[in-house]
């Protein structure tokens, strides 16, 4: 099979973790006789430095023409500490999501048997956790009207959702639930927010089309608490953009490291695969970042974008054996053991595929 993939390494540790994902993907392609064409493109702070905007038109054209996009990370501290900056790397990611119509962000949380004790949470609480967040990605407060009033003392961000936006996300949630344990949780703040009431009303009206799915409606604050207490009680969760952003960072604690969790963003045009972690600027260039979340995102890409399940399973299997054998970067290393470099982990995976 010919796989035409846009490669957006981005900022910080992005290029380092992407490099390892490319090595592993190329090894898979060789093993299973596929031909990958990687087309690199700029996004984030590096795009601002090069051409003045974080998501150049040329990058968008490359993404549109590709079968899938593999993405590293975005962000640079020089912008974080400058609230007056008018162009920011993160705008590139938001614009990319919007222009590619990537309205659903699929973020799984699972545990690795060999890493259970890496989580700060107790083994008996997290063992067997296997849940998926479907985060709405192109609406809500991220994209609503925002600004400052003339008095200079007042700022606002508005949260807006249409029924159609809720429906298309919820539809994916119901379908995903049907393919799993038929349990769906709608996370909202319907006791306070009007947009949440629209979410709840819309999802409730869809229940009749999926009679086998059991739907629960829970407030986001309660979910934040239950997620770390009883993660096993959840399976598929659907939620709006900001709640999903916050809860998925929280959920990553269950797996023991943010460096492990992959994600997919899907919708109208080319799907995008990326680790859920950020650009980890302090580690840039040190060859210490954990490449596994990006490598597991590549596995998601093989399976979901190309229907290559066996290839995806091969990646997951070799990642599992690396974890079992302690071939891990410093975020996962247990006391007294050696921490491997980013590139050494990639080399080991390639050698053991």
**Which region among 30-38, 45-53, 239-247, 295-303 touches Mn ion (by CB under 5 A)?**
239-247
CA distance 300 to 252: 17
The answer to whether 221 is a known catalytic residue is yes
Q: Which is nearer to ligand IPM, 173 or 244 (CB)?
A: 244
The answer to whether 142 is a known catalytic residue is yes
The answer to whether 235 is a known catalytic residue is no
The answer to whether 67 is a known catalytic residue is no
User: Hey, CA dihedral for 322, 323, 326, 328, is it positive or negative?
Assistant: positive
The answer to whether 234 is a known catalytic residue is no
Enclosing H/E stretch for 319: helix 309-324
The structure tokens listed for 214 are: 């059991």
Residue of 67, 130, 235, 249 marked catalytic: 249
Residue of 80, 117, 157, 221 marked catalytic: 221
DSSP β-bridge partners for residue 214:
183
Q: Which of 11, 16, 20, 90 binds ligand IPM (CB under 6 A)?
A: 90
The structure tokens listed for 230 are: 């009883």
The structure tokens listed for 189 are: 């703040």
Q: Which is nearer to Mn ion, 245 or 331 (CB)?
A: 245
Nearest approach, Cβ of 133 to Mn ion (angstroms)?
Answer: 11
Residue of 79, 161, 188, 245 marked catalytic: 245
Q: Which of 245, 303, 311, 331 binds ligand IPM (CB under 6 A)?
A: 245
Residue of 142, 161, 210, 340 marked catalytic: 142
What DSSP letter does each residue of 173-209 carry, written as one string?
A: HHHHHHTTTSEEEEEE-TTT-HHHHHHHHHHHHHGGG
Enclosing H/E stretch for 40: strand 35-40
Residues classed as catalytic:
142, 189, 221, 245, 249
Contact residues: ligand IPM, CB under 6 A: 74-75, 90, 93, 245
Q: Kindly list the residues in this chain that would bind Mn ion in the complex (CB under 5 A).
A: 245
């Amino acid at each position: 099979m010919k796989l035409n993939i846009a490669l957006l390494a981005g900022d910080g540790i992005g290029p380092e973790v992407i490099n390892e994902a490319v090595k592993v993907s190329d090894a898979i392609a060789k093993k299973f006789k596929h031909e990958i064409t990687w087309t690199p493109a700029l996004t984030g702070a590096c795009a601002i430095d090069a051409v003045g905007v974080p998501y150049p038109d040329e990058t968008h054209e490359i993404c549109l023409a590709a079968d899938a996009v593999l993405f590293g990370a975005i962000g640079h501290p020089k912008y974080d500490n400058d609230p007056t900056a008018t162009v920011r790397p993160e705008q590139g990611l938001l614009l990319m999501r919007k222009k590619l119509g990537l309205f659903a962000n699929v973020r799984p949380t699972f545990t690795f048997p060999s890493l259970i004790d890496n989580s700060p949470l107790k083994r008996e609480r997290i063992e067997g956790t296997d849940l998926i967040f479907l985060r709405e990605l192109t609406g809500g407060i991220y994209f609503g009207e925002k600004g400052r009033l003339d008095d200079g003392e007042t700022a606002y961000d508005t949260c807006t959702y249409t029924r159609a936006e809720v429906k298309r996300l919820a539809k994916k949630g119901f379908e995903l639930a049907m393919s799993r344990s038929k349990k769906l949780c709608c996370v909202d703040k319907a006791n306070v927010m009007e947009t949440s009431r629209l979410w709840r009303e819309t999802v409730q009206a869809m229940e009749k089309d999926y009679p086998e799915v059991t739907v629960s409606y829970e407030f986001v604050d309660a979910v934040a608490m239950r997620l770390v207490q009883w993660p096993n009680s959840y399976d598929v969760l659907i939620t709006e953009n900001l709640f999903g952003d916050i809860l998925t960072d929280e959920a990553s604690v269950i797996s023991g490291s943010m460096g492990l969790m992959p994600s997919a963003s899907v919708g109208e045009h080319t799907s995008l695969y990326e680790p859920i972690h950020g650009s980890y600027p302090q580690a840039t260039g040190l060859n210490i970042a954990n490449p596994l979340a990006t490598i597991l995102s590549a596995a998601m890409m093989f399976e979901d974008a190309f229907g290559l399940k066996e290839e995806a399973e091969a990646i997951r299997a070799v990642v599992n054996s690396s974890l079992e054998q302690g071939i891990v970067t410093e975020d996962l290393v247990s006391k007294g053991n050696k921490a491997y470099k980013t590139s050494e982990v990639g080399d080991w995976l390639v050698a053991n595929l």
